[in-house]
Amino acid sequence: HERQDRRHSKQRLLVVANRLPVSAVRKGEACWQLEVSVGGLVSALLGITEFETRWVGWAGVNVPDEVGRKSLTESLAAKRCIPVFLDEDLVHLYYNGYCNNILWPLFHYLGLPNEDWLATICSFQSQFDAYKKANQMFADVVKEHYQEGDIVWCHDYHLMFLPKCLKEQNSNIKVGWFLHTPFPSSEIHRTMPSRSELLTAVLAADLVGFHTYDYARHFVSACTRILGLEGTPDGVEDQGRLTRVAAFPIGIDSDRFLRAIQLPQVKNYIKEFEERFGGRKVMLGVDRLDMIKGIPQKLLAFEKFLEENPDWHDKVVLLQIAVPTRTDVPEYQKLTCQVHEIVGRINGRFGTLTTVPIHHLDRSLDFHALCALYAITDVALVTSLRDGMNLVSYEFVACQASKKGVLILSEVLISIQAFFILAFAYVTISKSQGSSQEIDALLFEFAGAAQSLGAGAILVNPWNVTEVAASIAYALNIELNDTVVEAQLRTTQIPPVLQTEHACDRYLRSNNRLLILGFNATL
* 470 touches ligand ADQ by CB under 6 A: no
Residue 149 burial (CB count, 10 A): 11
- Residue closer to ligand ADQ, measured from CB, 211 or 404: 211
Please list the residues that pair with 33 across neighbouring strands.
25
Q: What is the largest CA-CA distance in the chain?
A: 75
* 110 touches ligand ADQ by CB under 6 A: no
Which residue stretch of 73-81, 164-172, 383-391, 481-489 sits at the interface with ligand ADQ (rule: CB under 6 A)?
383-391
**Binding string, residues 225-264; x marks residues near ligand ADQ by CB under 6 A:** -------------------------x--------------
Answer for which of 364, 428, 471, 492 binds ligand ADQ (CB under 6 A) is 364
Residue 250, phi then psi, degrees to nearest 5 = -80, 155
CA distance 182 to 358: 31
Which residue stretch of 2-10, 128-136, 195-203, 285-293 sits at the interface with ligand ADQ (rule: CB under 6 A)?
285-293
CA distance 143 to 342: 49
Residue nearest to ligand ADQ (CB): 40
Q: For the segment 317-346, give every residue that binds ligand ADQ (CB under 6 A).
A: 321, 323
* 373 touches ligand ADQ by CB under 6 A: no
Answer for which of 36, 38, 247, 401 binds ligand ADQ (CB under 6 A) is 38
> What is residue 32's three-state secondary structure?
strand
Which residue stretch of 13-21, 55-63, 139-147, 384-392 sits at the interface with ligand ADQ (rule: CB under 6 A)?
384-392
Answer for which of 173, 286, 380, 442 binds ligand ADQ (CB under 6 A) is 286
| Helix, strand, coil share of the chain (percent; to 5) | 50, 15, 30
Tell how strand 52-58 and strand 12-19 pair up: parallel
Query: In 3D, which of 327, 371, 362, 370 has the Cα closest to residue 344?
Result: 362
- Residue closer to ligand ADQ, measured from CB, 210 or 474: 210
* 44 touches ligand ADQ by CB under 6 A: yes
Tell how strand 174-178 and strand 241-247 pair up: unpaired
Answer for which of 395, 425, 470, 489 binds ligand ADQ (CB under 6 A) is 395
Query: In 3D, which of 317, 285, 296 has the Cα closest to residue 409?
Result: 285
Total residues in contact with ligand ADQ, by rule CB under 6 A: 24
* 288 touches ligand ADQ by CB under 6 A: yes
Which residue stretch of 60-68, 301-309, 389-397, 455-463 sits at the interface with ligand ADQ (rule: CB under 6 A)?
389-397
Min dist. Cβ of residue 241 to ligand ADQ (A): 28
CA distance 229 to 226: 8
How are strands ordered across the β-sheet holding 81-83?
Answer: 81-83, 52-58, 12-19, 151-155, 174-178, 207-210, 241-247, 235-238, 230-232
Residue 65 exposed, middle or buried by CB count within 10 Å (0-12, 13-18, 19+): exposed
* 416 touches ligand ADQ by CB under 6 A: no
State the angle between helix axes of 367-376 and 392-399 in degrees (0 to 180), rounded to the nearest 10.
70
- Residue closer to ligand ADQ, measured from CB, 25 or 441: 25
Which residue stretch of 17-25, 57-65, 283-291, 443-451 sits at the interface with ligand ADQ (rule: CB under 6 A)?
283-291
The residues binding ligand ADQ (CB under 6 A) are 38-41, 43-44, 180-181, 250, 286-288, 321, 323, 364-365, 370, 387-392, 395
